[in-house]
Structure 1
């Protein structure tokens, strides 16, 4: 290779300048440029570490807030269920009280109606006894038998008692 002809006197000066330029470049890079790049890389790594730590802290805070939210939701749900249960019990108690009041009123009305029916039945039975007594007197008179009214009434009463059994 003709470029590396060491017999040429210019070659030694070229090599000398090569070593001087690369030496100076190495010294400048080592002394000034590379420390600045290293500082920038260290700052960047520190910032990334700080951001990761902040993200992990925020994640822990978020998980804690989520756990707190879930606990608050569960407590609110339990409270709501208790309130609903209390309202249901109160409504059932009121409905039961109203049903008892209605039942008592209906029972009183039924008792009144039964008393009126008994009174009407007794009045009808009384009228029926009178009619039966008059009819029995009329039949006996047609047959030509005379009987005292007291005897005929007693016979009608006995017949009514036997029919009632």
Structure 2
């Protein structure tokens, strides 16, 4: 804690500062010109400007510009490599797509050939089966026609006998008389036109 005594309060702490400020201010007001615009210091200012510019130029030309140029060159090379890599990958992708399309076309042709072969095989098997069935049916038809012809021949041969028997029975029942077999056979032949 700070205690202010009456003797300290009566004393002036800024006493003596005015004189120093006044003396400093008095010196600056002597020339009255802003120092960079003072013509008496132009020669030294131009000398320091030339020295600073020269050092800055050397620093730029020997250190900063080569580094920036190296960075730009590295980036240009990197971009060129990336573009070359992208082109190479694009060509590989195009080649892969072309190979895929070719393989797909070959697979489709192969599938079509397999389907055609299967269709031809099934068609020839069906033709063979049809021909076999037709041959079997033709054989059965020939056997049936032979059997029918035999039955027809036998039936026709028996028709005369049956007709003779029936005619003799009809004459016997209707007329009450008997007729010889030769007379009945002659009558049947006359009616049938043989």
Question: Same fold per TM (> 0.5)?
Answer: yes
Q: CA deviation at 1:47?
A: 1.4
Which runs of 5 or more residues in structure 1 are unaligned? none
Which runs of 5 or more residues in structure 2 are unaligned? 1-32
Q: CA deviation at 1:43?
A: 1.1
Structure 1 counterpart SS, 2:135: helix
Aligned mates of 2:157, 2:45 — CA distance in 1: 158
Structure with larger RCO (C-alpha < 8 A, sep 6+): 1
The answer as to whether partners of 1:140 and 1:146 remain within 8 angstroms in 2 is: yes
Q: CA deviation at 1:41?
A: 0.5
Larger Rg: 2
Aligned mates of 2:193, 2:92 — CA distance in 1: 95
The TM-score with structure 1 as length reference comes to: 0.76
- After superposition, the C-alpha distances for 1:130-149 in whole angstroms (9 at most, x for unaligned) are 33212211333443665431
Q: 1:82 aligns with which of 107, 113, 134?
A: 113
Q: CA deviation at 1:101?
A: 0.8
Bigger mean CA deviation after superposition, 109-118 or 90-99: 109-118
For 1:85-96, what aligned pairs fall within 5 Å after superposition?
A: 85-96=116-127
Q: CA deviation at 1:88?
A: 1.1
Q: CA RMSD in A?
A: 2.9
How many residue pairs match? The answer is 161
Aligned to 1:54: 85
Label 1:90 to 1:13 Cα distance change in 2 as closer, same or farther (>3 A): same
Which consecutive aligned stretches of 4+ in structure 1 deviate over 6 angstroms post-superposition?
Answer: none
Aligned to 2:54: 23
Label 1:126 to 1:50 Cα distance change in 2 as closer, same or farther (>3 A): same
Bigger mean CA deviation after superposition, 114-123 or 76-85: 114-123
